[in-house]
Structure 1
Amino acid sequence: MQRRTFIRLAGGGTIAAAVIAPLAACSSGPHYPAQAVEAWQGPVGETDLRRRAVAYAITAPNPHNLQPWVVDLREEGVITLRTDRERVLPETDPLGRQILIGHGAFLELLVLALAQQGMASEVTLWPQGPLPAQLSAWDDRPVARVVLKAGGQADPLFTQVLRRRTPKVDYDLARPVSPELLQALLASASRPGHLQAGGTVDPARLDPLRALCWQSAQVEIGTPRTMMESIRLTRVGPSEILAHRDGISLNSPFVRALTAFGMFDRTVAPPQGSAGYKAAAERFEGHSRTAMGFVWLTGGNTRADQVAAGRAYVRLQLKATELGVGMHPMSQALQEFAEMAPHYERAHQLVLGRGAPKEAGDPTVQMLCRLGYPQGEVPATPRRPLARLLQA
């Protein structure tokens, strides 16, 4: 879901343009090696119906691009979804809530892809009971068991699956998001149950939400252990990106030059006031300041609610793609680590007019996303090969 740039210059200085030039000549800018993003071409060469559906589902948005999915195809006519327990975020997502939202997004794309092939899906969540509250107690129990049935009906949003992007850039301040577009977007997320979609483009509400995003981002980048969680998942340059095809991919000439000359230190979190800290802060501030609208998803906070939020969230992104507007999660204020608690409380006050939840059934803000119009092309992000996610 969020990508971040962390640049730490030796001595806090700058690097000469002459150093960058050789790398710039062989770079495709921020774009990634073709093999790393081949998933966005669809299931080329796949003939098995289930594998084809999974090939679409792996493009789902997910936190830090961890792709924390294990897909079991060993039972005929069934797709079982589990969590890769090595692909979680214990510092910024200590309860695994965001990871399970990513599973919900995967499930929704899987169901859409099966329906496109004429198959209906009978989805059973937590067939062996929900995962425990603490990540340390997670095991191999399934998140969902999907039984294939004949008779699926194609959903118009499926046509946006391979076009969907998450624009992690500053938005165009000269292009407001209209109330009509917001309403069309929110209608796409409607679902039975307690989950609700809301949003605003009201200038009076935008400024407090922009401030919340910026202030909570400063907490994440200013807390060494949470910042290091992102730094450890940073992949720089074509070789690293191709080797991992996950995490936070950086392929700009500038960052590659810094790495090549040993000036991008990924062993420690850059202290406040350093060039690296300032670079990260400036990017977050720009994202927050240029939010031209916000959408959110609220409901309970059971494990089933978290998965449902992911399913609704990816539908919102697909609709945003259809409408030509950018939609980017600003998840920092919703993270459940101790230092974020004041902003978690503030997020619930701004969105729901009440305090943060105390129990699983209390109203909870599951997603908070900014809206706006990107200025330029938004590249696809890397995905691991389909075979690495399958148990077959």
Structure 2
Amino acid sequence: MNRRNFIRLAGGGTIAAATVGTLAACGAVGAHYPAEAVEAWQGPVGHTEVRRRAVAYAITAPNPHNLQPWLVDLREEGVITLRTDRERVLPQTDPLGRQILIGHGAFLELLVMALAQQGVASQVQLWPQGELPPALKDWDDRPVARITLQPGGQPDPLFAQVLLRRTPKTDFDTARPVAPEQLARLLASAPASAQSRLHIGGTVAADQLPALRTLCWESAQVELLTPRTMMESIHLTRVGPAEILQHRDGISINTPFVRAVTALGMFDRTQPPAEGSAAYKSAMGRFEGHSRTAMGFVWITGPNTRSDQVQAGRAYVRLQLQATALGVGMHPMSQAVQEFAEMAPHYQRVHQLVLGQPAPRTPHDATVQMFCRIGYPQTEAPATPRRPLAKMLLT
């Protein structure tokens, strides 16, 4: 492409479309990330202390917008205390902090598994100083969990998948249905806690998929068209090796094309794409592709107390580890279960479709905690950046 055509294309909005379309994939990548940004996926290289080794595995846990909202306190001997980094929350798309705490649950499950792999058992106490308040603005530094180390941990077979786990954010292969038998094997990965009140379900039934696919696509449009929720994603976008290495979190984009656009000052991060614009159409095309190629769905439901949210994260990461073992892709379609006002009709709809009942009114009502599409990826999903371990530790 010569320079004249490049600038004309940029002025016409096609570059913006490509950029925001990539953003809509929430982490889609066409070029490799800098090696240092994904070094966590090599395991705890150089770490010998039991707790640090366990945390080095746990930081690979899935979490919303790749914020990695964990603070790990190692100041008490023989104990790991897990807290929330209050600067790493999503007040627009996750105003109640539910998804953030699901991410903490995923971290906690990998932590327990990594300790067990070293022959160490874990006594997990959730909310030792009480649960966090409902409103994000009222959150403080009280711990999510206190993990006391004890002898006698038994390795978990799913631990073999921890460093192989990925979240595919691309279209699935519509020529490869997910067999009911595969779905049953996936759903068999029960939550780690015997006291869990959660339920795991799913479907690959052809007559149920169209309504669920439509729900995904329509709810995604709401997030894109609500300026404050779309800007939350834009503000967390990291473009090119320098930004990715600086932050090692958020939504990373490293394709040469988008890097060139950014270098020329043509990637506008100050406002969301307008409805009907080329950028909007491109982004919707990606959302529609993800939704329409879903070859099945899985979900986690149960009450909605703070403890249940953490347990949902523990169950979710086990599901994804099992999916990895089976060669099945699992990708959260979180929009419909988000609790901001504009999403209310779709929040109601997801509860009707999954549970056959209205959306919850109290923390004790059945709630759809996780809603994910499944299928077979057509390309290998990349590992996503992780912040340095030292940045998350209190020692």
TM class by shorter-chain length?
over 0.9
Aligned residue in 1 for 2:386: 383
| Matching of residues 226-375 of structure 1 within 5 Å | 226-375=229-378
Question: In the alignment, is the contact (CA less than 8 A) between 2:14 and 2:279 conserved in 1?
Answer: no
**TM-superposed deviation, 1:275:** 2.3
Residues 192-240 of structure 1 deviation map (CA, whole Å, 9 limit, x = unaligned): 3320000000011111000000000000001110000000000000110
RMSD of the alignment, in Å? 1.2
Question: In the alignment, is the contact (CA less than 8 A) between 1:73 and 1:80 conserved in 2?
Answer: yes
- Counterpart Cα distance in 2 of 1:235 and 1:256: 10
- Counterpart Cα distance in 1 of 2:226 and 2:258: 22
**TM-superposed deviation, 1:50:** 0.1
Q: 1:332 to 1:363 in 2, by over 3 A?
A: same
Aligned residue in 2 for 1:129: 130
Question: What is the letter of the counterpart of residue 321 of structure 2?
Answer: L
Aligned residue in 1 for 2:79: 78
Unaligned runs of 5+ in 2: 1-8, 17-28
- Counterpart Cα distance in 2 of 1:9 and 1:336: 36
- Counterpart Cα distance in 2 of 1:353 and 1:326: 26
- Counterpart Cα distance in 2 of 1:231 and 1:280: 13
- Counterpart Cα distance in 1 of 2:94 and 2:255: 28
**TM-superposed deviation, 1:167:** 0.3
Aligned residue in 2 for 1:96: 97
Question: What is the letter of the counterpart of residue 107 of structure 2?
Answer: F
Question: What is the letter of the counterpart of residue 212 of structure 1?
Answer: L
Question: What is the letter of the counterpart of residue 113 of structure 1?
Answer: A
User: TM-score by structure 2 length?
Assistant: 0.93
Question: In the alignment, is the contact (CA less than 8 A) between 1:9 and 1:276 conserved in 2?
Answer: no
Question: In the alignment, is the contact (CA less than 8 A) between 1:123 and 1:146 conserved in 2?
Answer: yes
- Counterpart Cα distance in 2 of 1:303 and 1:42: 30
| Matching of residues 93-242 of structure 1 within 5 Å | 93-190=94-191, 191-192=193-194, 193-242=196-245
- Counterpart Cα distance in 2 of 1:9 and 1:241: 24
Aligned residue in 1 for 2:25: none
Aligned residue in 2 for 1:22: none
**TM-superposed deviation, 1:276:** 2.0
SS in 2 for 1:171: coil
Question: In the alignment, is the contact (CA less than 8 A) between 2:69 and 2:84 conserved in 1?
Answer: yes
Aligned residue in 1 for 2:5: none
User: TM-score by structure 1 length?
Assistant: 0.93
Question: What is the letter of the counterpart of residue 73 of structure 2?
Answer: D
**TM-superposed deviation, 1:279:** 2.2
- Counterpart Cα distance in 1 of 2:229 and 2:379: 30
**TM-superposed deviation, 1:298:** 0.2
